[in-house]
Structures are given as structure tokens and as C-alpha cells.
Amino acid sequence: MKGKNFRLLHGKPLFSWILDTLLAVNEIDEVVINTDARHILAENGLVEGGRVRIRDRKPELCGDTVSMNLILADDVGAVQADSYLMTHTTNPMLRPETVRAALADYRAGVASGEADSLFTVNRIQTRFYREDASPVNHDPDNLIQTQDLEPWFEENSNLYIFSRDSFARTNARIGRKPRLFVMDKLESLDIDTPEDWALTEAVAAMRQNAAPAVA
């Protein structure tokens, strides 16, 4: 979907959704936007100031095939912080309360020594098959209820939290001892295709209709 980051989603540019969410979380000291489209952000009313910093993406880091970990390495090298939280413009349904809960879970894991990083996942309990129709995680001759199957966890690309040290150990946003943070499926929507956009539009409308009226 060309230009999706600036396309209007339910009345406001896509990038504004996640930016508003992050700025609503007081624990986040600064929001760093790594982009090759500063001028388009400005055309949409977003410039540096307050808690927002815009970093121009280096030419060698532009393109759909560049690893996000390389972009993050550039940001980590330029931005000093105790902890880094990474998300995408394409995750507009992520809520501030989920970000706060993930931060608290990450800090608890670090304090206990049980974790050095965190990433969000979808919990899935369903029957999987290979392309040749052979079962992956169940026995067709001994069917059990799907809710009793071993849960599998899908990385949903919504949220990653890590430190400078954990990133240095793996050169990646996921450290050696990551903590999995389960999200609501409708909140974890990630927009890649027109179908994803249509579903996200529907969820955004549902949220608006469910919001309490303000007198």
C-alpha cells in the first residue's frame, strides 16, 4: 500500500495514531521518528518539538529490504537511553494502557533477572497443517478441543522493548532472554495489505462507537 503512512485512517493520518498513543504515555521521555519523509510529515503538520525528535534515515538504510535491526542500531547509536521501545506506524490500534503494561512487565523482568527484553505476541490455539496436509501440532486420530491444544505465540510486530546492552549482545531488538507479552488480537492489527486496512478501519469505527459520549 504505497503512501499508507500518510493515508487517512478514520479521519486522521495513519502515523498520527501511534504517535498520539506514545505521547499519551508519560513514562516515554522522547519519541524518535526515523524517516525518509520529513517533508511529508511537515506537510501533515508534524515537526520536531516537545517530546518529538525526527531523525532523517540514512540513504543506505532506505528501502523495503533493509533489516529493521540496522535502522535500530543507527538510532541506538545516536540516542542515549536506559531503555528503548520500538513500534511501527502500521500498528494504529495499540493503546496507551497496553504500552504502560508492557513497560511494567519489562521492568519487572529486568529487575528479577528473568528478562532482558520484551516483545508482543498473539496467543494462538488452533490446528496447524503443513503444505502436504500433515498435522503440525495435533493428532487427527485423537482430536481434542482447540482450547486444550498447546498454545503457540505469534510475534505480531507491535511492540519491542530492550536496553542498549541487550541490543549489543544480539544486534537485534530481541535479546537473549526475551519476555513474551500477549496482546488482544484486534489491538495488535498490523497494516500490510488493503484487507488489513479495511479491517483496521472497521475496528477504529467500532472503538469510536463504543467510546462514552462527552457532555
Instruction: Read off the pLDDT of residues 32-52 as tens digits, 9 standing for 90 and up.
Output: 999 989 999 999 888 889 999
Residue 111 lies in a domain: yes
Domain CATH for 174: 3.90.550.10
Residue 94 lies in a domain: yes
**Residues of the chain where predicted confidence (pLDDT) is lower than 70:** 1, 211-215
pLDDT at residue 89 in the model: 95
Residue 215 lies in a domain: no
Distances (CA, A) of 213 to 24, 44, 84, 173, 206: 20, 28, 35, 40, 14
3-state secondary structure of 205: helix
pLDDT at residue 212 in the model: 66
- Strand ranges (E), the chain: 8-9, 12-13, 31-35, 52-56, 84-86, 117-124, 152-162, 178-182
The model's pTM:
0.90
Residue 58 lies in a domain: yes
Residue 155 lies in a domain: yes
pLDDT at residue 2 in the model: 74
Other C-beta atoms closer than 10 Å to the C-beta of 175 total 23
Contact partners, residue 214, CB within 8 Å, separation at least 6: none
pLDDT at residue 3 in the model: 80
3-state secondary structure of 104: helix
Distances (CA, A) of 11 to 2, 15, 117, 182, 208: 18, 12, 35, 29, 11
Q: Give the CA angle between residues 157, 162, 163 to the nearest 5°.
A: 160
pLDDT at residue 213 in the model: 56
Residue 18 CA to residue 31 CA, distance in Å, equals 10
Reported residue count of the chain is 215
Look at the chain and report how many structural domains it folds into: 1
Q: Give the CA angle between residues 181, 186, 192 to the nearest 5°.
A: 95
Domain membership of residue 174 as a residue range: 4-210
Residue 44 lies in a domain: yes
